[in-house]
A and B are shown apart, each in its own frame.
Chain A
Amino acid sequence: MRSKTAPWVLLAPFLVLFIGTMIIPIIMAIGYSFTRVERSGLLGEAGTESTFAGLSNYIAALTNVNFIESIGRMILFGVVQVTVMIVAATVLALLLESAAAKWPGFFRATYFLPYGIPGVIATILWSFLYVPGLSPIVDVLQVVGINIDFLGPNMVLWSIANIVTWTYTGYNMLIIIAQLKSIPGELYEAAKIDGASSFRVAMAIQLPLIRPALMLTIIFSIIGTLQLFAEPRLLQTMSAGITSEYTPNMSAYAFAFQYNDVGMAAAQAVIIAVAAFTLSAIALGISSWTEKRR
């Protein structure tokens, strides 16, 4: 075999599956998002007909109050939760790498453990810790005189944020630790000779040098936020605050499988994908722009 065809032979299995399970579905979704399915007969028994709908599905999606609210909710969620999580992950990474604590290996493993627990099971476990009567946390708080309804309409968003933070902080911490380990020892030596404090070392050396890792974790977290689905969907049966269109993904799911409006569902899926793509591209762009200016 010549080396002209060799790369394509190696690429073929991946590309075939990639095109079949990502490119074609995305093209199909774009197609569906421009069509309207009309059912004839009382219950649609006389067959269905697809007609070109232009932008009407997109207009309907973007003027749908619930969908817009779900996007706003995710922006609020993302701004608060991603910030808290990345700051926590960075602080934990710096503390563990500062060699100031005993048993760093134990702590690292403990913080990373939740990443191995599926979101569904994490949500089930936390939901049992949220339910009054079952949850020891609610009991303890009541003894001290604090009455919190973790599943109340206003609180439940932050209860979800807690589950996501619990699951992914340790994972992000490991990415940051990996980058911290790549900082050459001479830099620390130089800082020590200059008499820099640990805090100064963190601000002047470590934080600037782990920026690529921070960008990576922030981008992944933003994409993750837009995809939020399992946690709110599972809590839906326990909390009156969660509607079936609580997040953009839940909304697309509801339109596809509960309201049988495939065109609307496809339009919403496309909007979610474009938003994630744009946000990631902007984040990558800012990152490389600041990198060049340095």
Chain B
Amino acid sequence: MTTTDTTKNAPAARRRAASTDSRAGSRDAGRKPTTTIIVTALLAIIALYFLVPVYWVVINATKSTEDLFGTSGFWFGESFQLFENLGAVLSANGGIFPRWGVNSLLYAGVGSVVATYFATAAGYALAKYRFPGRRFVYVLVLGGVLVPGTAVALPLFFLFSSIGITNTYWSVLIPSLVSPFGLFLASIYASAAVPDEMLEAGRIDGVGELGLFHRLALPQLVPALVTILLFQFVAIWNNYMLPLVMLADERLYPITLGLDNWRAQTDRLPEFYQLTTGGALLSVIPLAILILVLQRFWRGGLTEGSVKG
């Protein structure tokens, strides 16, 4: 918890850095302005590297296919047809792109919410109860964290095809409901943030065991919940191999798989370059905003996992 607080205060601390503040301040004192300039310049150059692909897609989504190849990729072309391009993306193939977007939201949204709830309940149970089999469950799940997700994707396909649910929404959604990593984060967090005395007091007041979890423990676990939710959301949103293995019907695709499909056609049909670029822009923007807005929560929760890990 303390680390979360430091995190939140960090910008304020830095603003006061010049005067008397804690460690940032004490370390800043006596630093030469030339050092600041050199370090800032260096960081700015590195920032360019991280921004180049994003910059490229923003600029080139405004071009016609002709300009895409005919003009410099670092600046706007002769025509500005961003809105025509985006219109084409949204209406191509009977509006398949918005459908991919909805699919991605469905997989990642439903998957991450349910996975977070399940992982937190299980992590809390492992942290707050002593029962036979507890260590076994821990070891089993740790094994699950270390086995690569993509190595499971193939066997999972064999299993799902034997019960006949490949090429359905369920085939991508069900595996997304499990977050072994979330379980660990939740159990580490719960053992620190949920005091036994509070649970005992609740029991004396006649609160049931499930009530203890939902009404007393969950509110304490909110920072861990946010972290698990974000991790799982990004993990599902970014997943490629699982939907690739499971889905044959284009209408069930998430955005990642759909865009890959479009890009694969650029060889034969150059107009797909424009569709892919526009589609990439549309799918980068919402996630970029989400990441920037939620960056603070992200770090707060990460600390709990890494410091104790």
Which residues of A are at the interface with B, using a C-beta cutoff of 8 A? 1-4, 6-11, 13-15, 17-18, 20-26, 28-29, 32, 92, 95-96, 98-122, 124-129, 133-137, 139-140, 166, 170, 174-175, 177-179, 181-182, 185, 188-189, 192, 198, 201, 212-213, 216, 223, 226-227, 229-230, 234, 237, 249, 252-253, 256-257, 262, 265-266, 269-270, 272-273, 276-277, 280-281
Contact = CB atoms under 8 A, between A and B. Distances in A.
A249 B140 contact: no
B147 A237 contact: no
Size bracket, chain B contacts: 35 or more
Interface stretch (B50-58, B76-84, B85-93): B50-58
A121 B118 contact: no
Contacts of A101: 36, 39-40, 43
Contact of A125 (B53, B150, B303): B53
Contact of A136 (B54, B74, B298): B74
Given A13-B121, A135-B73, A266-B154, A118 B240 contact: yes
Given A23-B140, A234-B260, A188 B155 contact: no
Contact of B306 (A213, A223, A234): A213
Interface string B295-309: 100110011011101
Interface string B11-34: 100100100001111111001000
B122 A14 contact: yes
Most chain-A Cβ atoms within 10 A of its Cβ — which of B131, B148, B307? B148
Contacts of B52: 129, 137
Interface SS of A by simple majority:
helix
Nearest to A257: B245
Q: Which 6 A-B pairs have the closest CB atoms?
A: A136-B73, A116-B291, A25-B155, A6-B209, A29-B155, A185-B23
A174 B24 contact: no
- Dominant secondary structure of chain B at its interface with chain A: helix
Nearest to B49: A166
Contact of B56 (A10, A23, A129): A129
B50 A166 contact: yes
A117 to B, nearest CB: 6
A139 B73 contact: yes
Contact of B299 (A178, A230, A262, A272): A178
B256 A121 contact: yes
Contacts of A22: 144, 147, 152, 178, 180
B179 to A, nearest CB: 9
Given A109-B292, A121-B280, A125-B57, A14 B178 contact: yes
A97 B235 CA distance: 28
Interface in B108-142: 118-119, 121-122, 124-126, 129, 131, 134, 137, 140-141
